[in-house]
Homo-oligomer: A and B are copies of this chain.
Amino acid sequence: MPSAISVITLLTDFGEQDYFVPSMKGVMYGINPQLRIVDLTHQVPPHDIRYAAYVLHACYRYFPDGTVHVVVVDPGVGSDRRALLVSTSRHFFLAPDNGVLSWILDNETNVEVRAIENKQYRLDSPGTTFDGRDVFAPAAAWLTKGRVPGSYGRLIRDYVTLSRQEAKIIGDTLVGEIVYIDHFGNLISNITTDDLERFRSVVKRDPKLITLGAVAIEGVKSHYAQGATGIPEALINSNGQLEVFIKQGRAVDRCGVGIGGKIEIR
């Protein structure tokens, strides 16, 4: 699968002010100078595994075959939690064994999960506090040089997974929650197009009323420009999830609801 030109993506909670991210890139270019490196984001709130899982899930599929996705969001760095290498039919994923790859493992086919055990792909460093640079960066770069997953470590089945937060139909109401807030202040729920389809087939009509805290929204718009200025509206966003937005405004500032806030559809 790895071609002459390979893409590695990086997703961390390191921020961009320190030496952390560039150290990883230096190590990777030292092993494979042909690489393309793409930053997913380094602004994951510190140690927020669910935030990282959402961002990864929302964009990984747009990368070419053979892409290596590296996630370093890791409250347990330096402890004995394992580093994982996951291969799927199209991509590779490297991450700490803390559940951050859960949505990938749910979605993908031909999934193999390994513990990274081979010391040969580690950087030889004195301390034990920077696995991003010393473990994940070299392991990822060696994959793009054609090293096979089997050489990294044994297959495992007892990896950590995140608990699901799925929308539920209770009576004639679809109940979900806010799982992400984006740069524009849009409130993104865990209600998917599939959930809405299920609602229609169970309740036998289209959704009419959406409630989120004290805010009531009628119907679902098809794009942002359809909203009336200053009024919260809903649409299905580009990741297939129901989102509450205010045209050219910030829904999060208006709705008084944050991550975990309940959203109901009738």
The complex places the Cα of A33 from the Cα of B40 at a distance, in Å, of: 17
- Report whether A46 and B14 are in contact in the complex, using a CB–CB cutoff of 8 Å: no
Q: A60-68, A152-160, A197-205, A257-265: which lies at the B interface? A: A60-68
Chain B neighbourhood of A33, CB < 8 A: 3, 5, 7, 36, 64
Q: A100-108, A112-120, A121-129, A168-176: which lies at the B interface? A: A121-129
Chain B neighbourhood of A58, CB < 8 A: 18-19, 23
- Report whether B79 and A225 are in contact in the complex, using a CB–CB cutoff of 8 Å: yes
- Report whether A59 and B19 are in contact in the complex, using a CB–CB cutoff of 8 Å: yes
Interface flag for A88 (CB, 8 Å):
no
The complex places the Cα of A193 from the Cα of B63 at a distance, in Å, of: 42
Interface flag for A150 (CB, 8 Å):
no
Q: A264 to chain B: closest CB distance in Å?
A: 22
Q: How many copies does the complex hold?
A: 3
Chain B neighbourhood of A59, CB < 8 A: 19, 22-23, 26
Interface flag for A167 (CB, 8 Å):
no
Interface flag for A248 (CB, 8 Å):
yes
- Give the interface SS of chain A, mostly helix, strand, loop or mixed: loop
- Report whether A41 and B18 are in contact in the complex, using a CB–CB cutoff of 8 Å: yes
Chain B neighbourhood of A183, CB < 8 A: 14-15, 17-18, 20, 46
Among A23-64, those with CB < 8 Å from B are 23, 25-27, 29-30, 33-44, 46-47, 54-55, 58-60, 62-64
Please give me the residue from chain B that is nearest to A249 by CB atom.
B46
The complex places the Cα of A9 from the Cα of B29 at a distance, in Å, of: 12
Among A33, A77, A237: residue with most chain B CB under 10 A: A33
Q: A212 to chain B: closest CB distance in Å?
A: 19
Interface size on A, residues (CB 8 A): 71
Q: Mark A170-201, 1 if CB is under 8 A from B, else 0.
A: 00000000000011100000000100000000
The complex places the Cα of A254 from the Cα of B15 at a distance, in Å, of: 20
Q: Mark A216-227, 1 if CB is under 8 A from B, else 0.
A: 000000111110
- Report whether A79 and B22 are in contact in the complex, using a CB–CB cutoff of 8 Å: no
- Report whether A127 and B30 are in contact in the complex, using a CB–CB cutoff of 8 Å: no
Q: A76 to chain B: closest CB distance in Å?
A: 5
The complex places the Cα of A81 from the Cα of B223 at a distance, in Å, of: 12
A222 contact from B128, B193, B226, Cβ within 8 A: B128
Interface flag for A256 (CB, 8 Å):
no
Q: Would you mind naming 7 contact pairs between A and B with Cβ atoms under 8 Å apart?
A: A9-B22, A19-B58, A27-B62, A29-B36, A29-B63, A129-B223, A133-B238
